[in-house]
Amino acid sequence: MPKIRIGLIGYGGIGRVHAAAYRAIPFHYGLPANSISIAGVATTRSETAEAAAAEIGCDFHTDDYRALLARDDIDAVDICTPNNSHHEIALAAAAAGKHIYCEKPLAMNVAEAMSMAEAVEAARVKAQMTFNFRFFPAITRAKQLLEAGFVGRIFSFRGRYHRSSYISSDKPMSWRLRREITGGGALFDLGSHILDLLYYLLGDFAAVNATLDTLIKERPIAADSSETAPVDVDDIAFLHARLPSGALGTVEISRMGTGATNDLSFEIFGDQGALRFDLAEPAWLHVYDTRDADVPLGGRRGFRKIEAVGRYRGQRAPDWTMSPDFMRVHAECQYQFIRAIQDDAPTAPSFVDGLHIQRIMDAAERSSECGAWVRIESAG
Amino acid sequence: MPKIRIGLIGYGGIGRVHAAAYRAIPFHYGLPANSISIAGVATTRSETAEAAAAEIGCDFHTDDYRALLARDDIDAVDICTPNNSHHEIALAAAAAGKHIYCEKPLAMNVAEAMSMAEAVEAARVKAQMTFNFRFFPAITRAKQLLEAGFVGRIFSFRGRYHRSSYISSDKPMSWRLRREITGGGALFDLGSHILDLLYYLLGDFAAVNATLDTLIKERPIAADSSETAPVDVDDIAFLHARLPSGALGTVEISRMGTGATNDLSFEIFGDQGALRFDLAEPAWLHVYDTRDADVPLGGRRGFRKIEAVGRYRGQRAPDWTMSPDFMRVHAECQYQFIRAIQDDAPTAPSFVDGLHIQRIMDAAERSSECGAWVRIESAG
Amino acid sequence: MPKIRIGLIGYGGIGRVHAAAYRAIPFHYGLPANSISIAGVATTRSETAEAAAAEIGCDFHTDDYRALLARDDIDAVDICTPNNSHHEIALAAAAAGKHIYCEKPLAMNVAEAMSMAEAVEAARVKAQMTFNFRFFPAITRAKQLLEAGFVGRIFSFRGRYHRSSYISSDKPMSWRLRREITGGGALFDLGSHILDLLYYLLGDFAAVNATLDTLIKERPIAADSSETAPVDVDDIAFLHARLPSGALGTVEISRMGTGATNDLSFEIFGDQGALRFDLAEPAWLHVYDTRDADVPLGGRRGFRKIEAVGRYRGQRAPDWTMSPDFMRVHAECQYQFIRAIQDDAPTAPSFVDGLHIQRIMDAAERSSECGAWVRIESAG
Amino acid sequence: MPKIRIGLIGYGGIGRVHAAAYRAIPFHYGLPANSISIAGVATTRSETAEAAAAEIGCDFHTDDYRALLARDDIDAVDICTPNNSHHEIALAAAAAGKHIYCEKPLAMNVAEAMSMAEAVEAARVKAQMTFNFRFFPAITRAKQLLEAGFVGRIFSFRGRYHRSSYISSDKPMSWRLRREITGGGALFDLGSHILDLLYYLLGDFAAVNATLDTLIKERPIAADSSETAPVDVDDIAFLHARLPSGALGTVEISRMGTGATNDLSFEIFGDQGALRFDLAEPAWLHVYDTRDADVPLGGRRGFRKIEAVGRYRGQRAPDWTMSPDFMRVHAECQYQFIRAIQDDAPTAPSFVDGLHIQRIMDAAERSSECGAWVRIESAG
């Protein structure tokens, strides 16, 4: 297999996670240590770029991502910058013929997302989203079961992503609360994850009826400051959604979920069975099968807690039957990208997938403004 | 305390539960066995009335509830008939000066509910709803905590009542699926319970945005029949709700909740704390307190699972620290009614409460038709 | 069916529960209200006997249980007195030809238990133990599965009954802490329940190796008293147990289980499957089946949470799919006794069962003294 | 900080985990990528050593660990070989002046463990055990709470480690089932982990009373072979244990825990509070505090589920509030070893700790043989 050389653009919290995950891939999949390398890193300031390079252990660093794109020893870039630069960087990377791995959400809005999807298609580069939650083994298992018809006709579904990061009104402003940087609030940041999971498992959304709200509308401009600034993004978003089949869903997204740390879960109800996943128990998928025998005085029906630990395709490491964590699913998501490049195969989740999520989020925002259902263009 | 003599109207499944619960009250509250009696029973057929009387152990039975109302040895009637007769019976009972205990939902629609609330007010009889779920000790405890400001400003809430009773398309028609008898479907039958819990804990709803659906639109007219009839009530109802304070909620109601037996739960999120209840663990309330100390390397914050078992006011029986069940909370709800009569005190839940639930359900139906938010008149 | 007239002996907390449960039986099983009656009550003082009769609604009361035994209108007695009077009362009742329903543990020691089992056998009266936990539907279901070979060869098992009633050293002495009244401590009071469940499900115990301890050895003689008295019974008992098949088990019994309310649970592990029950979720049995298909990338194996709600044989009331509680399982246990009388059938749990539990407890005490395994005589 | 160069001895499943964990350390703690390196690898065959070196990305590989010990560019060795070689390798490494990181259990028996502890003491090299479970943040938090007196006087405790790896009698022999290679069975393999956790949290064990068993005594010598060989190690071990304080504990260790994947848990009960941990929920510690206010109609007492995620001392990476997994706790355990070398500080868990665990396991084996309590020499 050809070696893959990554250029990392952005080295904040998530950039560091991606870097560590690239480093872990050889061990998980039994590859030579040097089969994947981070060949360079770009940040916006030369000091942070230099520090990043030392931590990563790579020779090249720059405060101009274009310098990274200009290098021949870079096969692919990994975009870990704030949302408002994804579009510009992705277009430049596509023009430079680099494969692209991009953090979620894809873009600031549908228009940007469309032009990005078109650009990578035109440039014939591989382009993949970081929708890392897809790669919990329990999700992979749920996808298999759904494709095999396990739940039958889908009646309804529910998704949720709650965090409690912003429940204190003393918490000051940050870039995550500024629309010009993020494009959206909880809906974009948390919602993109749970919406992608539901889309991955259930397919296109046909329409949404959503209510977004900003429960805390002003925050201190800095810790201990008495001056405040307005928050111009949502901190809570509740959606009702329709699939083309008519199945009805509900999705709860909140940064104000008091008590939540990373409360992501979903349920899918069908006429033959049901599925449940909760990130609090990442190693298990709960399944219910109406076909289980039911006999007098109590049958054997009931939700079954299926072990779903790391048994990824291609994985060499032994199955440690342990809780898969954040780092492991990032490694798997990135490995899929590497394999798509090596095998010249389609990426998944692709930028087209990222575009559909952008369309759902855009429809949710418009629905909230008008108080009515808004239809969503198909991804197909 | 004066003895209370009940006339039971209707003796199907729920009538039998009420009868058994009256019988259990003396033991729970240390009253003489004869302090509460069922003095008569009315059903629609003389055979069933006679069988009911034998089972209950009372002398009087009739196939005409008016004969029951005419008796002097009846202090109060308990209405356990289908929804479409509540209005007529309640008005006749009020006219006869009988106190009234009525199964949920109060009526077929808002107009009936209003006239019932007015009738009992005018007749100065005690009138109480069977909203038995309120009387799980965990709910009582949640109410106390909310009144004491435990959760602070309420950000959002979620409620749910799922059952799986109708997921099979082979299940034939029944009276529960006919609007002329019930007034509504899952929303009326299951929704009235969870909506009352949220209303009890959080107060009036200001507006709802709801989607109701009938996922299985035709059913066999009888088991093994190839002839089908249309189902004209909802089997799923998803609501978004606003409180007057601006708090945003979501409520999921379904008869199509594959895998559910009696899946009733709620969560309340506030800036100071959070509460959770799940009927699958009826003896516990989960509470989260932001005021718990948080220290480096991990604090002591977290959801606390509080024992909430039977420690009702006035209860004489020892606290058995066991799971409270269905029968016990019916007994408590009925005991509150008995006490309101004996003490000449207001009832709770009252017919005014029942009317507000009817208004929420009515608004939900209208919202679903128009696809937009519908405002709700205040209960106050 | 002949009417059954009960004489209740003892009317403390558990006596009141039994009385209420008799009253509920007709409703649960569709019997006429007067088919079971409490015809008299005996306590040790005339005032308490009179109050009990008023609460129960019966005419006869006495401060001498022998007066109750002398009456012709009593078919059976229900012994709810402290352990140290069970033997005397049961022998007198048998001599009087009364059927006997007796609270656990059967007796103060093996010798008493043997003479009681012999006495009821000789007198040909029906005699049943109050091992009410057997009658949770989940336990009934577990028994069925075990009998059907669901778990295969049993490898090992674990049982537990923890309460936290005595963790405070300020809690004063009570009759439950005095060996002359109870015969034993946590082992007798809590252990008899969990040991019976394991015996019911798994059969005879062959030997035990146990450690009993009294963690708090002195207590105030009364609340706020500075005078103390020694505690002469165990407050914790840990057992290892062998079945005749060689299966190895562990049982934890404690009154010092900080945080526990009624923490009773068990697990059974076999080569074909496993079972779990936890009283905190009384409506469910957890089962694991090795025969479930296991396929690449994760199979469908896992613990299944089976709904196990009230579907008792003969039950007429609808299945309310609710949590079964304490009162309901007492009613079922008592109903089994009533039916054994009416049908002239063997009782279960019988005094022979009570005797085997007594033998296990006795062996545990002796094992703890000698620090070694002690064999147990077979029940058969 | 000086760079640390590791020589890895053994590259089976656990060797690969250690290698990957070393590689992840710089990212978790914000160190330069080259601050920790694997400078060489030794296995027993030159082909596997060469493959290991390619995967690790190191230059030196050998089929003779002594060649590794002879190199100047190795600061420390990490022993990932089967138990029967730990003693020889550790003594040679100490003689070569290399620091030592050793997989559990320390040795084949107490004598070996003693000589290893003495050798590293004499050679003044740092020596640490791989007791990785200690480093789940929830365990760190439990340790802090215990040291702060949170649970008060300890009444009792319970530990468990169940896996289901060997429940099928068709599963063939393996090195894990041969005493000459492992020194012991489930007790050594799984028991060393849970016993270390309890020892870490509670201190020395004073005595044990244990029963070990081999439930499946013969296995095929290979898959599909009809020839069998005897299993000469335990597959189940149940212990009762005493602490010097008198606290009583029970420990369940089994490879025959049908349905278990990695079922490790413990509970600690004291007069002031209680603690619970379950590896199925690795991100949480459950704590109960008797000092929480208890008020009429239900207090606020109850088990609290405390978030315990990665907030390690020195950690630079953001707190991802995710489930900590196997790899993360190995990285932390190894980082502690690295820091002990760099800071010339004592190691923890040390070989002395490993020796105490060996003494507990040895006492358990002897207790099982004699059926009585066996005392354990203090670690101090």
Q: Is A26 a residue whose pLDDT tops 90? A: no
- Would residue D81 count as lying in a domain? yes
Q: Tell me which H or E stretch contains B75.
A: none
Are A117 and A90 within 8 A, CB to CB? no
User: What was the pLDDT predicted at D301?
Assistant: 77
Answer yes or no: is C93 within a domain: yes
Per the structure, how many domains does chain B have? 2
Give the E-state strand segments of chain D in sequence order. 4-9, 36-42, 60-62, 76-79, 99-103, 127-130, 154-162, 207-213, 218-220, 228-230, 236-242, 248-254, 263-270, 273-278, 284-289, 302-307, 374-375
**Residue A339 within any structural domain of the chain:** no
How far apart CA D327 and CA D324 sit, in angstroms, is: 8
Write the pLDDT tens digit of every residue in D96-130.
999 999 999 999 999 999 999 999 999 999 999 99
Q: Which of C19, C56, C326 lies nearest to residue B320, judging by beta carbons?
A: C326
Q: Which residues contact A263 (CB under 8 A, 6 or more apart)?
A: A160, A161, A162, A163, A257, A279, A280
β-bridge partners, B59: none
Query: Are residues D202 and D110 located together in one domain of the fold?
Result: no
pLDDT tens by residue, C102-149: 999 999 999 999 999 999 999 999 999 999 999 998 998 899 999 999
User: Which chain B residues are Cβ-neighbours of D289 within 8 angstroms?
Assistant: 300
A89-139: per-residue pLDDT in tens? 999 999 999 999 999 999 999 999 999 999 999 999 999 999 999 999 899
Cβ separation B305–D304 shorter than 8 A: yes
On whether the CB atoms of residues B126 and B76 are closer than 8 A, the answer is yes
Nearest chain D Cα to C210, which residue? D240
**Tens-place pLDDT, residues B67-83:** 999 999 999 999 999 99
Q: Are residues D99 and D173 in the same domain?
A: no
Judged against a pLDDT cut of 80, whether residue B143 lies above it is answered with yes
CA dihedral over B54, B56, B57, B61, signed as positive or negative? negative
Domain boundary among A133, A152, A178: A133
Which residue in chain D has the smallest CA separation from B302?
D306
**Dihedral of CA D96/D98/D102/D105: which sign?**
positive
Q: How far is A262 from chain D (nearest CA, A)?
A: 7
Q: Which residues of A touch C (CB under 8 A)?
A: 137, 140-141, 144, 284-285, 287, 289, 292, 296-309, 311, 313
Q: Which of A156, A238, A371 sits opposite B250 (nearest CB)?
A: A238
How far is residue D124 CA from its own chain's centroid? 23
Q: Which residues of C touch A287 (CB under 8 A)?
A: 300, 302
* pLDDT for position D280: 87
Give the model confidence (pLDDT) of A39-54 as tens digits. Answer: 999 999 999 999 999 9
Q: Which among D279, D280, D321 has the least Cβ separation from residue A261? A: D321
CA angle, residues D316, D317, D318, in degrees to nearest 5: 115
Position C322 scores a pLDDT of 62
- CB nearest D269 (choices: C151, C257, C372): C257
Pairs from D309-316 (Cβ < 8 Å, separation ≥ 24): D309/A261, D309/B298, D309/D137, D309/D283, D310/D137, D311/B296, D311/B297, D311/B298, D311/D137, D312/D28, D312/D135, D312/D137, D312/D140, D313/B297, D314/D29, D314/D339, D315/D28, D315/D29, D316/D28, D316/D29, D316/D30
Residue among D302, D306, D309 whose CB faces B300 most closely:
D306
Q: Do the Cβ atoms of B298 and D287 come within 8 Å?
A: no
Give the Å distances, CA to CA, from A321 to C339, D62, D165. 50, 31, 11
**Under an 8 A CB cutoff, do A308 and C298 touch?**
yes
**CA contacts within 13 A on the Cβ side of A90:** 36
Find out whether B97 and B123 touch, Cβ atoms under 8 Å.
yes
Chains that touch C (3 or more CB pairs under 8 A): A, B, D
Is A335 within the bounds of a domain?
Answer: no
Residues D88 and D171 in one domain: no
pLDDT in tens, C90-103: 999 999 999 999 99
**Phi (first) and psi of residue B80, to 5 degrees:** -120, 30
Quick one: pLDDT band at residue B297, thresholds 50, 70, 90? very low
Pull the structure tokens for residue C308: 């196990």
Give dist(CA B219, CA B174) in Å, integer: 9
Residues of D in contact with B141 (CB under 8 A): 297-298
Instruction: Assess if residue A333 is contained within a domain.
Output: no
| Residue percentage of chain C with pLDDT more than 90 | 81
| Interface test with chain B among A151, A245, A269, A300, by most B beta carbons within 10 Å | A269
**Structure token pair of residue C124:** 């040909």
Contacts of A324 by beta carbon, 8 Å cutoff, 6+ apart = A136, A137, A282, A283, A309, A310, D323, D325
- B58-80 as b/e, with b when 16 or more CB fall inside 10 Å? bebbbeebeebbeeeebbbbbbb
- Enumerate the residues of chain C whose CB falls inside 8 A of the CB of residue D169: 271
Query: CA neighbours within 13 Å on the CB side: how many for C79?
Result: 31
Nearest to C27 among B19, B27, B326 (CB): B19
Rg (CA), chain A: 21
Structure confidence by residue, pLDDT tens digits, C305-352 = 988 776 666 665 555 546 677 888 999 999 999 999 999 999 999 999
Question: Could you tell me if C126 and C235 lie in one domain?
Answer: no
Separation between Cα atoms, residue D140 and residue D277, nearest integer Å: 11
Task: Output DSSP code: residue A36.
Answer: E
C71 and C107 housed in the same domain: yes
- Nearest chain D alpha carbon to A30: D55
Instruction: Please give the structure tokens belonging to residue A161.
Output: 């992503």
Q: Which of B201, B186, B288 is nearest to B238 (CA)?
A: B186
pLDDT at site B378: 80
**Residue span of the structural domain in which C122 resides:** 4-133
List, in sequence order, every residue forming a beta bridge with B60; answer none if it has no partner. Answer: B40
Name the residue of chain B whose CA is nearest to A165's CA: B271
Kindly report the number of other CB atoms within 10 A of residue C182's CB atom: 21
D185-220 per-position pLDDT tens digit: 999 999 999 999 999 999 999 999 999 999 999 999
pLDDT higher than 50, residue C297: no
Which residue type does A97 have? G
Residues of B in contact with C317 (CB under 8 A): 13, 16-17, 20
Q: Where are the beta strands (DSSP E) in B255-319?
A: 263-270, 273-278, 284-289, 302-307
* CB A330 within 8 Å of CB A130: yes
Put simply, the answer to whether A288 touches B256 (Cβ < 8 Å) is: no
Query: Are B248 and A238 an interchain contact pair (Cβ–Cβ within 8 Å)?
Result: yes
Nearest to D43 by CA among D97, D75, D80, D6: D80
| 8 Å CB contact of B27 and C23 | yes
Is pLDDT larger for residue B88 or for residue D144? B88
CB-CB under 8 Å, B307 with D304: no
Same domain, yes or no: A218 and A317: yes
Cα–Cα distance, B237 to C360 (Å, whole number):
55
A70 exposure class (CB count in 10 Å sphere: 0-12, 13-18, 19+): exposed
Say if residues A223 and A174 touch (Cβ distance below 8 Å): no
Please state the φ and ψ torsions of residue B126, each to the nearest 5 degrees.
-75, 135
Hey, are the CB atoms on B16 and C27 less than 8 Å from each other? yes
Question: 3-class DSSP state for residue A1?
Answer: coil
Residue A180 lies in a domain: yes
Kindly report the CATH number assigned to the domain that includes residue D46.
3.40.50.720
B306–D299 CB contact, under 8 Å: yes
Contact B45, B358 (CB under 8 A): no
Q: What is the pLDDT of residue D296?
A: 43
Same domain, B128 and B174: no
Which positions ≥6 away from A176 have C-beta within 8 Å? A182, A185, A189, A233
Same domain, D52 and D168: no
The last residue of one of the domains, among C133, C168, C199, is: C133
Measure the CA–CA gap between C178 and C219, rounded to whole angstroms. Answer: 11
Which residues in chain A are contacts of B211 at CB distance < 8 A? 209, 240, 248
Regarding whether A241 and A365 lie in a shared domain, the answer is yes
Question: Where does the pLDDT of residue B296 fall: very low under 50, low under 70, confident under 90, or very high at 90 and above?
Answer: very low
Q: What is the pLDDT of residues B2-30, one digit of tens each?
A: 899 999 999 998 999 999 999 989 888 88
Q: For chains A and B, what is the number of CB pairs under 8 angstroms?
A: 106
Task: Please answer yes or no on whether A283 and D283 come within 8 Å at the CB atom.
Answer: no
Q: In the numeric block, which tokens belong to residue B171?
A: 């299940």
C-alpha D335/C-alpha D333 separation (Å) is 5
Q: Do residues B347 and B336 lie in contact, with contact meaning Cβ atoms separated by under 8 Å?
A: yes
Q: Which amino acid is at D18?
A: H
Domain containing residue B207: CATH number: 3.30.360.10
Which of C17, C31, C324 faces B325 most closely, judged by CB atoms? Answer: C324
Going by the DSSP 8-state scheme, the letter that residue A174 receives in this structure is -
* A63, burial (CB in 10 Å: exposed 0-12, middle 13-18, buried 19+): middle
| Selected residue of C151, C155, C194 to mutate for chain D interface (largest D Cβ count, 10 A) | C155
Same domain, C207 and C310: yes
- The verdict on residue B380 lying in a domain is no
Say whether A177 sits in a helix, a strand or coil: helix
Residues of D within 8 A of A33 (CB-CB) are 54-58
Q: What's the rounded Cα separation, in Å, for the pair B199 and B352?
A: 12
Which of C19, C33, C320 is opposite residue B326, by nearest beta carbon? C320
Residues A108 and A197 reside in one and the same domain = no
- CB contact (8 A) between residue C297 and residue A307: no
Q: Do residues C129 and C142 both lie within one domain? A: no
In angstroms, the Cα distances linking C92 to A301, A370, C12, C63, C96 are 48, 82, 21, 16, 6
Q: What is the pTM of this model?
A: 0.95
The last residue of one of the domains, among C77, C109, C133, is: C133
**Assigned domain for C336 exists:** no
